[in-house]
Amino acid sequence: MALELHRKLARKLGYDIQKFNKQVVVETHLRYLLPLLNIDIVLDVGANEGQYAQGLREVVGYEGTIHSFEPLPAAYAKLAEKASKDPRWHAHNFALGDEDGEAELKVMEHTVFSSLHDANAQGQAKFKDGISVAETVKVPLRRLDGLVHELGIDVAGTPSFLKMDTQGHDAWVFQGASGIVQHLKGLQSEVSVIGIYEGVPTYLELLAVYKGAGFELTGAYTINRYRDTGHIVELDCVFARR
Whether pLDDT at 177 is above 60: yes
Q: Give per-residue pLDDT as tens, 22-38.
A: 345 899 999 999 999 99
> What single DSSP character describes residue 146?
H
Q: For the residues 62-85, what does the mean pLDDT come to?
A: 96
Question: From edge to edge, which strands make up the β-sheet containing 184-192?
Answer: 89-92, 65-69, 41-45, 160-164, 184-192, 232-241, 215-225
| Helix, strand, or coil (residue 172) | helix
- Domain ranges in the chain are 19-241
Task: Find all residues with CB under 8 Å of 220, minimum gap 6, and list them.
Answer: 235, 236, 237, 238
> 19-241 falls under which CATH superfamily?
Vaccinia Virus protein VP39 (3.40.50.150)
- The highest-confidence range among 51-60, 107-116, 164-173, by mean pLDDT, is 51-60
Q: For the residues 161-176, what does the mean pLDDT come to?
A: 94
User: What percent of the chain lies above the pLDDT cut of 70?
Assistant: 86
Using only C-alpha atoms, the chain has a radius of gyration, in whole angstroms, of 17
Distance CA 215, CA 185 (A): 9
Least confident of 12-16, 91-95, 155-159: 12-16
